[in-house]
Each structure stands twice: as C-alpha cells, then as structure tokens.
Amino acid sequence: MKIDRRSFLGLGLGAAAGVAASPVTWKLTDDISIWTQNWPWTPVPVDGEVTFEDTICTLCPGSCGISVKKVDGRAIKIEGKKGYPINDGGVCLHGISGLQYLYDPSRVRFPMVKKGDNWQQLSWDEAIALFAGKIKELRDKGAADSLACVVGTDKGTVAGLYRRFLTAVGSQNFYTVDNMEKSWQILISKMHGIKASAAFDLANSDYILSFGSGFIDGWGSPVNNFLANSSRKERQAKLVQVDYRLSNTAVGADVWLPAKPGTESYLALGICSAMISSNLYNAEFAKSAGKNFEAFANFVKEKYAPELVSRTTGIDAAKIKEVAADFAKAKSPLAIAGRGKGESAGSVMEFAAVHALNCLTGNINRAGGFWTVEEQELLAWPSIEMDDAAIKSYAKPPVGAVALATSQESGSAGIFSAVVAAASGGAQASTQSILSSSVSKLFEVINSSEKSPVELLMVYNANPCFTLHNAKAVKDAINKIPFVVSFSPYMDDTAQLADLILPSHTSLEMVQDVCSGGCVAQNIIALSKPVAGPIFDTKNPGDAIISIAKALEGGISSSFPWETFDECIEGVNGDNFATLSEEGYIASELAPPANPLIVDFSLFSNFKGATPLDGDEKSYGLTLVPVETIRLASATLASSPFAIKTVEDTVLLQKDTLVEMNPETAKQVGVSQGDYAIITTPVGEAKVKVNLFDGIMPGVIAMPEGLGHSNGAKGEVITKDGSAMPSIGGATSIITVTGGVSKKVAPLENRYIGGKGVNVNELIGSVTDPVSGLDAAWGIRARISRA
Amino acid sequence: MSELKKKTENGSVDGAEDATSNEQKAGGDSGVGMGVLFFIAAFAVCFLSGWLLFPSLLYSKKEQPFNFNHALHVEQTSGCESCHYFREDGSFAGVPKNSSCMECHESQLGDTKDEEIFMTEYVEKGIEVPWYIYSKQPDCVFFSHSAHVVGAKMDCVTCHGHIGESESLKPYQENRITGYSRDIWGESIWGIKKNPWDRMKMDDCAQCHQEETGSKGACFQCHK
C-alpha cells in the first residue's frame, strides 16, 4: 500500500462528492445569502405599535401644528397636522427634519464649565450652584444691573421666567433678538396708537403687493403662506413682487418690479402718490380715520410723484401708475413689508411707507386685509418681590438703551422738516425719552467700553454670535464679558464662547406655550409637548431658571414660588391650561379693536428717506445684500443635515459660499463664473466664489444667509468619571489619558453645517433705526476682487 | 520514444524510478485502488458529517429567559388573540409587551419560579422580556398577519403549529450565520416537511399561495 497523489485525488474528490451529496452546500448558500441581505451591522428599525402625538413645531415663529409618528414609543417621523388652522397638514423642509435636531452631534450632553481650553462636566447641582454664586457675587458688590440676558423672543412662559429672573435680580438688561414683528408693533403704536401686532390675511387677499418680502421664501409663517400661495391661482389673486433679484417669490409673482435695493419705501410712496393724485384711494376712510392726511397727501404728491420716484427706483412711472391703479381696484389689496424672511427688524419708516398703502385702501381689520391684533395678557404672573438691592440696581438704565427723540409733530401742511436726533449711550439717555433698547446696541456698547459693563450674560434660544449683524464684533464683545452662560442645547456659535453651558432640552423634548407668530392672521395659543427623550442630561430651561432662583436668597427665591416648570406653566396659563393640554391649542377669531381705528400720518414728518448703507460709495462701489431662502435656516437654529442637502450648488459648493452677481458687474470687476473672489465691506472681508446670474441687477451682490457656522467646540470634554461621552449615531470618542484623567475628544461638531461657507452677518454692520432703535441694516457697501 | 520524452512523461530522470513506474503499470495499478478507497472514505466521512454533524454545528442552542406555559394561558384566556392581538389600526402586536401581561399579572398570580422571574427581573425593573422569537423573519420580508388571519381567515396553527398546546418553551436554535431560528428552515436538515408549520421559508409561502390563490405571488408583495 502506497499513498500517492491518486490517493489524495481520491480523498479530495470523495470529500467534495460527500459534501455535495449532503445538505451542507445548499444550506450554507442559503444562509450566506440571508446573511448578506441582512448584514448584522445594518441597523434595523424597531417594530411596534404606531402612534401619533400632536405638538407644535417651534423651529420658527410660524408655529405649525405637527403630528409626530412614533413606532414603539420612538419618534420616527414628523408630519403636518391636518386641520390645524395655520398649516392644515402642510409642513416645511425644516419641520419634517425636526427629528434631526434631536440627534444633532453637537448637542451638549450635560452641564459643562470651561476649564482653560477644555470643558469639564458638572452635575446640575454643581452648575446651578456655580451660576447662583456668580449672581450673588454681583449683588453683593451692588452690580446686579451688570447681569444681562439675551433671548430669542419674549413670548411664552419660558421667556417670561427669564425676564422675571432679571427683574428679581435687579437688572433691566433683558434683550430679545428682534424681527419684523417688533417693527410692525412699533409702527402700529405710532400710526394707530394702540398696542397690537400686525397680521396679514394673505389667504383672502386678491392682490398682494410685497416689498421684498419672501412670500414663498420663508417670510412670516412659511407654511401658511405656501397654502395661501397655492390657492392664489384659484382665487385669481395677484402677487406683485418688488425685489432687486429674481427670487423664488419674484419668479412665482404675476408682476416683478425690480426696484433698486433700498428704494422700496420710495416706490411705496410713489404708488401712494399715484393713488392720491388719481383719486384712487378710499377717501371716506382717509377722512374718517386719517389724522394729518392732508399733510401726508401733499408730501407724497410733491416729493414722491411717480416721475420723481421713477428716477430713484428705476421703475417706469407708467408701471408705478399701473400698479397703483390695480392695487386700488382690487377688492382686498394688501401691501406687505419685511425683507426676506422678516428675520431682521428693518426700518420702521420703510414699513410705514408700505403700510400707508394699506391705509389708503382702508383694507384694515377685515377679511383679506391688514389686521391689528391687540396684545392680550395671556399669562397671569404673580407679583415679583424685589428686595432693596434689586430695586436699587433696577433703576439703572439698560446698557443697550437707545435714546430716541420724541417725534415732533408738524401740524403745518407741506414738507415735513423735523429732525430725528438719535443720541446714543445709556448715560446720555436721561435727557431723552428712551423708547427702546436693542441687543445690537448692547454689544456695541460692550465693545466700545474699556471694561465690559456687562459682567454676566445669559443667552437662551438665541445665537447672537451668528445672527446679529457684525457677528465678529459680537464675538469680540462676548469674549470681553467675564462670564457667559449659555442655555443652548447645541454647541452653537455663541455656546462655544460661553464659560458655562446649562443645556436645554430641544423643542421636541420640552413643554412650552407658544403664540402664533410671523404676522399670521390667526389668533392662536398652543402648547408644545415633549414627544421624545430627553435623551441627554438636559433640563427644560424653565426648570433651570427656577432652580437657579431657588438657590438664591430673599426676593429672588420668593419670586419663583413654583417647584417645577410644569407647575409654573400650568399656574400662569390659568384656565387656558386645561384646554391647552387637552386640545393642544386655543384658536380665537380675529376681532377689530373696540374703538374705531385711527390712522395718524404725522409719522411721515420724520421721514428722512431710506436707511442708508454703511461705507462710502467711492471705496465700495457695489451693494452687498443678504439673501434669505427657505432652504437655509438663518435664525437661532442651524440648518439640519437634510435641509443643507437641498441647497443648490450655486449657493454652496463644498465649503464655499457663492455670491450672485450680474455678468455685467463681473465684467467690470474682472471676475468670471466659478472664480474665487475676495469681498470686502467696511466691517469685514471673506473669500467667496462667484456665481453669475442675470436675475440680479448690476451693482448688487447677493450672498446667502445661514451659512458659515463655526465648526464645533475647541478643546476636549472632561467627563466626571472618565467615562465615554454619550454618543449619537456611533460617533467615536477618542480617549487620551493625561495625568491619570481620562479625557474624551468631544464629538461636539456639527460637520453637516459647521465650517461650510461664510456668514454674511460678519460682513454687514448694524445700522440703528431712528424710530425704533432696532437694527435696520439691510445690506452694506462692498467691493469685490479676484482672489 | 526518445529518452527525453520518456523522462518527461514519467516526471523523473531517475532510472530506478523509471523502472518502478513501469512495474506499477504492470502490477494491476494498486494506486487507483488506493484512490478509490480514499474516495470512499472521504465521501463517507463528509457525507455523514454533512447530514449528522453539520446541523449541530450550524445551530447554537439558547434557552429562553424563563419558561412559558402556553397551554395554561390559553386555558385561562380565550385563545391566542387574547395576548397576540390585532391593534386598532389592524397591525399585529406579536409577542406581547409587559404592559399587556400586566393586565392580568398586576401581581404574581401563581407560584411558579418562572412567573417569579418575570415579576422580579422584568416587571419590577421595567425591562421588556428579551424573548427569542422562533418565527422571526428577516427585515427584508414584509408579512401582514391581518391579511392572513383576518382577511383569509387562516388559523394560527397553519403556520405556527400547536405551540398553543405546549407547556414549555423548547430551546431556541439560532443559526450561527444568519441569527434566525432553526424553525424557519425546519427541524429537518433535508428541508422536508410533514406539516405546513414545519418550515417558514419563502418556498413554503409560495406553495401555499399557489394552492390557495393559484399564483405564487409577485416579489414586491413581500419584499417591499
């Protein structure tokens, strides 16, 4: 017997035949095919009961009703809530991607304090004790007024608690980041003499004349406007868009009036002039409600005749007259103002010029018209107990006070000649009547002072380092403030510069009351309920404030008699709360004010023309304007990963922002499509790419707003016990060991948006509006050259 | 034949080997005999291992968290659907959650060790029981209980067998490659079934569909 190669051959063949005749091959083939079709590392969504929970979207002031679809209790999808008065089942791209904000990689997982370049994890008790200690220090040295607070809006119970806290501590330095709603309120108080918000019944108007408002680009209450726009054809309603570029709204409009940027108010007055001259206005209404109407009529006829306006705006006089005639002929014409999405305050006088058109038609407080929605005291707060220290420091004016001259009424007919004196600085304010304080002014004053007059800053639901004009200067100011506390759920541009972060729940994790905003013609209060989480060690900001107040002595602690925020929101909402919890919202009919409306045209005595641009024309030959589009979130929240994917590569190409310019402008400055260019303005410069666009007028450069978020926190997060950072979606923490302490590199970067593009707000400076004291900048002078 | 050619054919240049090789040819080719022997031996080993050893290697046995007496529960309630019910929206609840169990088991009802484990380890700790599910299908398969049970009025037994009459849970045999239960392929490694509930592969679905509806159905009906 000899084993040779034939034996091996036999062995091999025998084995093969044996295996083939057994089920091994066939079974393994089947198993492997199942395995490859269901890779074990591919996450499989959990199956379970499907439920829907209704809540309110709080990503923008629009406050749409949403239905959150859950599987086995886990929120998986956001849909619009059918039958909800604002959006009736509709939802925007930011709304549907709301869940991504829950799992944002830049979410702050627990309270953290800055230690050198790094962040140290704190327990909530330690964090609250640290913050309360800082407040006590300020009060002990009699400097309670150097506590300041910036919040996104002053609506709702949470914001009310922040305001209350400032008052109880003894500081007037409470600021909101204002948008067009505030300017409309100021205008209504000046023109109609009542405390009310503006609302536009766009869904019932048959002629919308928009002065640069991005009606379908996210202006006001976006989904409400989408619905109004989609029914426009059926209703045979016309849309006329005044816009210096062919925006989406301009594309969808029946008439596009490309007026030169900054001349919108002149055009509005030109249309007024044409209406008055041709007797096309509602004379009865002007007579019964109008105050100083004659003066106004003469003023516009003389100064803003269509022929004169045509020169400044670039719109034909004949076209102006035609629009005036159509506007006057319409059944329910409506003029709207607030540039882009209406996220910046804007110029009150520009709003006044536009609103004069509404006043000339008398289409006010009726279907399809302009509505004045009187402010109701919805929340019943118990009185604040201010102790002596608080009363003393509360007497000091706010740091960001804007002193405004009282408007000088000119009774005489003819051309108004009053001069607006806008003094500045809190110290001189006593001689003037303070009408306003502005967050932009606050940071300006901090920057111009040798030592920051604000020693402790609280920031909630706002990202001033990104959204305010001259954002770089705002960052400088924040850096100058000795102690900054952020309540942001995310490591956003402002939180990155903070000293202490007390992370809030995201909107889907917390209860809060919301009022319909965005100038929507609906009167709704609603309750946003937690539909997920909390997935991290975060708190409702209301609870955080109550805990901080409780850690302080005397008046502050007793001004916050609630144990929890739940108790507080139920208490202050009173009888409404039961309905809010059960129904989710309370909608009431819009009602005209009890007294007949007065239209006081004397405001125009202060009309000094459009808000001027920063920078001299000689060194900066072009005009830079920001573009607000629906696809990019440009307010407090950054765009979601989903939203950023919808942005065209003519706006953002990889990491570069593209600026829009007319080929003619490009030829003049010597750049062509796709070139890198340096854009310089009086406040900053940036490297951008060029996108040529025939739809923008020569001499104007448009730059998208909402890009250029800074890219995550610098430094590492040192966890308490050296454990790994709670991760989202498998983000890996890199562990380094230094001196026996485990450190984790924080996955606090939002790489989906961070570091992409340039923030246009770093190129545009703020301009104080002489009427409101708010920031009225709408652009800036600029020059551009090939990089 | 030239010398060179001869050498090449035999694969050797050694004269002695040359002689042996010629001898082998002459002596009845015992190399082939060995080859056949090896073939048969290898065939037998692989064949038998494939049938007998392979199944036990392929599956690992796992015990359920605790025993469950289906027979007792069916007796106490009104049948399968008391626990494996359809939700209001028509979807099938599958294996009940603790909350369903607790409708009856608010506190311990009997004195079995298993119920005690359920109460102390799961209900009190608020943890759902991690049952191994014998009939679990891959994620790429869409199956509607409603269409079969409510629509076609099928009996649970047709697919799931007489599990409702069992007093204990058998060990879960997990396929080491796919992670699914042995019950899907069937107990028999041949893939042969005696009863409709012996297997739950796609062919079994198709067979029944062919018999009942005259068509195996289209891919997208189950693979959405």
At A680, is the secondary structure helix, strand, or coil? strand
Q: Would you tell me the crossing angle of helices A317-329 and A264-277 to the nearest 10 degrees?
A: 70
Residue A359 lies inside a defined structural domain of this protein: yes
pLDDT digits (tens, 9 = 90+) for A502-554: 999 999 999 999 998 889 998 899 999 999 989 999 999 999 999 999 999 77
Q: Which CA distances in Å does A334 have to A328, B152, B157?
A: 10, 60, 69
Q: How many CB pairs under 8 A join A and B?
A: 111
* Alpha-carbon span A58 to A95, nearest angstrom: 9
Q: Is the pLDDT of residue A161 over 70?
A: yes
Cβ contact A240:A254 at 8 Å: yes
Q: B177–A35: do the CB atoms touch at under 8 Å?
A: yes
Q: Is the pLDDT of residue A732 over 60?
A: no
Q: Is the pLDDT of residue A177 over 50?
A: yes
Q: Does residue A408 share a domain with residue A317?
A: no
A328: tokens are: 């006057």
Q: A35–B178: do the CB atoms touch at under 8 Å?
A: yes
Q: B34–A3: do the CB atoms touch at under 8 Å?
A: yes
Q: Does residue A410 share a domain with residue A351?
A: no
Question: Average pLDDT, whole number, for chain B?
Answer: 86
Whether B94 contacts chain A with CB within 8 A: yes
For residue A44, the chain B residues in CB contact (below 8 A) are 139
**Parallel/antiparallel/unpaired status of strands A656-661 and A652-653:** antiparallel
Residues A547-554: contacts with CB within 8 Å, 24+ apart?
Answer: A547/A124, A547/A128, A548/A128, A548/A131, A548/A132, A548/A135, A548/A165, A549/A165, A549/A168, A551/A128, A551/A129, A551/A132, A552/A132, A552/A135, A552/A136, A552/A169, A553/A136, A554/A385, A554/A387
For residue B89, the chain A residues in CB contact (below 8 A) are 50
Task: Kindly state the average pLDDT of the residues A180-185.
Answer: 94
pLDDT band at residue A708 under the 50/70/90 scheme: very high
Lowest-confidence region among A307-311, A404-408, A743-747, B151-155:
A743-747
CB-closest option in A10, A16, A44 to B139:
A44
Residue A240 lies inside a defined structural domain of this protein: yes
For residue B45, the chain A residues in CB contact (below 8 A) are 15, 18
Distance of residue A75 Cα from the nearest chain B Cα, in angstroms: 18
Distance of residue A730 Cα from the nearest chain B Cα, in angstroms: 21
Residue A362 lies inside a defined structural domain of this protein: yes
> Where does residue B224 rank: exposed (0-12), middle (13-18), buried (19+ CB within 10 A)?
exposed
For residue A13, the chain B residues in CB contact (below 8 A) are 39, 42
CATH number for A778: 2.40.40.20
A221: tokens are: 């209450």
Task: Kindly state the average pLDDT of the residues A128-148.
Answer: 95
Q: A2–B54: do the CB atoms touch at under 8 Å?
A: no
Residue A465 lies inside a defined structural domain of this protein: no
Of B23, B29, B34, which to mutate for an interface test with A (greatest number of A Cβ within 10 Å)? B34
Distance of residue B198 Cα from the nearest chain A Cα, in angstroms: 16
Residue A432 lies inside a defined structural domain of this protein: yes
Cβ contact A669:A699 at 8 Å: no
Q: Does residue A417 share a domain with residue A354?
A: no
Lowest-confidence region among A228-237, A413-422, A564-573, A752-761:
A413-422
Percent of chain A topping pLDDT 70 = 92
What residue in A sits closest to B201 (Cα-Cα)? A30
Whether A36 contacts chain B with CB within 8 A: no
Q: B47–A24: do the CB atoms touch at under 8 Å?
A: no
For residue A37, the chain B residues in CB contact (below 8 A) are 138, 140
Q: A24–B89: do the CB atoms touch at under 8 Å?
A: no
pLDDT digits (tens, 9 = 90+) for A363-417: 999 999 999 998 878 889 999 989 888 999 999 999 998 877 554 433 333 333 3
CATH number for A265: 3.40.228.10
Q: Which CA distances in Å does A424 have to A402, A403, A431, A451, A779?
A: 6, 6, 11, 18, 22
Q: Does residue A328 share a domain with residue A425?
A: no
Q: What is the DSSP string of A514-542?
A: EE--TTBS-EEEEEE---S---SS-B-HH
> Where does residue B216 rank: exposed (0-12), middle (13-18), buried (19+ CB within 10 A)?
middle
Q: Is the pLDDT of residue A253 over 60?
A: yes
Domain ranges, ordered by start, for chain B = 14-60, 133-222
Q: Which CA distances in Å does A370 have to A170, A196, A220, A522, A610?
A: 39, 12, 14, 12, 23
Q: A23–B58: do the CB atoms touch at under 8 Å?
A: no
At A611, is the secondary structure helix, strand, or coil? coil
Tell me the residue range of the domain where A12 lies: 5-37
CA atoms within 13 A on the CB side of B205: 17
Percent of chain B topping pLDDT 90 = 70
Q: Residue A435's pLDDT is what?
A: 60
Q: Is the pLDDT of residue B82 over 80?
A: yes
* Alpha-carbon span A215 to A441, nearest angstrom: 29
What residue in A sits closest to B36 (Cα-Cα)? A10
What residue in A sits closest to B57 (Cα-Cα)? A24
For residue A14, the chain B residues in CB contact (below 8 A) are 38-44, 46
Question: Average pLDDT, whole number, for chain A?
Answer: 90
Residue A191 lies inside a defined structural domain of this protein: no
Whether B189 contacts chain A with CB within 8 A: yes
Which B residues in the span 36-75 are in contact with A, Cβ-Cβ below 8 Å? 36-51, 54, 58
Q: A31–B91: do the CB atoms touch at under 8 Å?
A: no
Q: DSSP secondary-structure letter at A605?
A: G
pLDDT digits (tens, 9 = 90+) for B109-165: 888 999 999 999 999 999 999 999 999 998 889 999 999 999 999 999 999 999 999
Distance of residue B46 Cα from the nearest chain A Cα, in angstroms: 5
Q: Residue A436's pLDDT is what?
A: 75
Q: Does residue A406 share a domain with residue A342?
A: no
Q: Does residue A412 share a domain with residue A359?
A: no
Q: 3-state SS of chain B: helix, strand, coil percent to 5? A: 50, 5, 45
Q: Residue A42's pLDDT is what?
A: 83
Of A1, A9, A27, A50, which to mutate for an interface test with B (greatest number of B Cβ within 10 Å)? A27
Task: Kindly state the average pLDDT of the residues A636-648.
Answer: 94
Of B174, B178, B182, B188, which to mutate for an interface test with A (greatest number of A Cβ within 10 Å)? B178
Lowest-confidence region among A162-166, A413-417, B8-12, B50-54:
A413-417
Residue A45 lies inside a defined structural domain of this protein: no
Q: Which CA distances in Å does A180 have to A344, A348, A756, A764, B151?
A: 6, 9, 27, 18, 57
For residue B91, the chain A residues in CB contact (below 8 A) are 49-50
* Alpha-carbon span A8 to A1, nearest angstrom: 14
Task: Kindly state the average pLDDT of the residues A600-613.
Answer: 88
pLDDT digits (tens, 9 = 90+) for A454-501: 999 999 999 999 999 999 999 999 999 999 999 999 999 999 999 999
For residue A73, the chain B residues in CB contact (below 8 A) are none
pLDDT band at residue A737 under the 50/70/90 scheme: very low
Whether A49 contacts chain B with CB within 8 A: yes
Q: Residue A377's pLDDT is what?
A: 80
Whether A423 contacts chain B with CB within 8 A: no
Most confident of the ranges A99-103, A424-428, A731-735: A99-103
What residue in A sits closest to B51 (Cα-Cα)? A22
Q: A27–B58: do the CB atoms touch at under 8 Å?
A: yes
Q: Does residue A426 share a domain with residue A289?
A: no
What residue in B sits closest to A6 (Cα-Cα)? B35
What residue in A sits closest to B54 (Cα-Cα)? A24
For residue A71, the chain B residues in CB contact (below 8 A) are none
CB-closest option in B41, B58, B138 to A34:
B138
pLDDT digits (tens, 9 = 90+) for A256-289: 999 999 999 999 999 999 999 999 999 999 999 9
Residue A500's nearest CA partner among A135, A100, A102 is: A135
Of A8, A38, A39, A41, which to mutate for an interface test with B (greatest number of B Cβ within 10 Å)? A38
What residue in B sits closest to A46 (Cα-Cα)? B139
Q: A4–B34: do the CB atoms touch at under 8 Å?
A: yes
Residue A738 lies inside a defined structural domain of this protein: no
CB-closest option in B40, B50, B177 to A24:
B50
CB-closest option in B34, B93, B138 to A38:
B138
Q: A23–B189: do the CB atoms touch at under 8 Å?
A: yes
Q: B43–A17: do the CB atoms touch at under 8 Å?
A: yes
Q: How many domains does chain A have?
A: 4
pLDDT band at residue A430 under the 50/70/90 scheme: very low
Cis peptide before A534 (omega within 30 of 0): yes
Q: Which CA distances in Å does A108 have to A12, A99, B108, B113?
A: 62, 16, 43, 45
Q: DSSP secondary-structure letter at A144?
A: G
ipTM rounded to 2 decimals: 0.83
Which B residues in the span 119-178 are in contact with A, Cβ-Cβ below 8 Å? 138-140, 175, 177-178
